[in-house]
Amino acid sequence: MARHIMLLASRRCPPFAAALRPAGTRALAFKATHKRQPKKEESSGGRDPYATLKAAIIAEPDPELSTAIMAEKETAAARRERRAEYSRQAITEVKRVMGHLSRLIKLRQAAIEALPEELQEAARKPDLTPAPIQRRIFTDTAPIPDYQAKLLRRGED
């Protein structure tokens, strides 16, 4: 029986086994199983996936790289001036296009005025007829002979 108690006291056992021990040995069994053991560092079983990020955050910045970045940075005034120049160029382009369109409209009006009176009425009316479906589109290659007829025959089959 003493050997049985020693075995129970030397290792951790389920609670029901402690009830089988004699009353005097319960405290000894508790002390034997609950000794303070130094905590081991838990290993995650692999490498830290964030190790490179942590090292990059902790590391000192490269002085050559940081001075190069600081040299490349523009001041707020330089950025503002560049935006203003871009805006001026964009407005100039818009004015150029709008001026061209207004000149075309003036030329169209002058052409209508140059027509005889009976044709001016017809020229001022907008042409709302739809574009023809089978319109001729010019291409770089020569047309294929009887292409439309071949399409029609294929559709009938």
Structure tokens at 91: 């407005």
- Cα(32)–Cα(26) distance, integer angstroms: 10
What are the percentages of helix, strand and coil residues in the chain, rounded to 5?
65, 0, 35
* DSSP per residue, 6-68: HHHHHS---HHHHHHS-TTHHHHHHHHHT---PPPPPP-SS--TTHHHHHHHHSPPPHHHHHH
Q: What is the pLDDT of residue 128?
A: 92
H or E element in which residue 98 lies = helix 76-114
81, 79, 101: which is closest to 89 by C-alpha?
81
pTM of the model: 0.37
- Sign for the CA dihedral angle at 119, 123, 129, 135 comes to positive
* C-alpha 46, offset from chain centre: 31
Neighbour-count burial of 84, counting CB atoms closer than 10 A to its CB (0-12 exposed, 13-18 middle, 19+ buried): exposed
Q: What is the pLDDT of residue 147?
A: 85
Q: What is the pLDDT of residue 96?
A: 98
Q: What is the pLDDT of residue 34?
A: 57
Q: What is the pLDDT of residue 112?
A: 96
Return the C-alpha torsion angle 119, 124, 127, 128, nearest 10: -140
Q: What is the pLDDT of residue 18?
A: 54
pLDDT along the chain (157 residues), means of 10: 51 54 55 59 72 90 78 75 96 98 97 95 92 76 83 81
Q: What is the pLDDT of residue 75?
A: 73
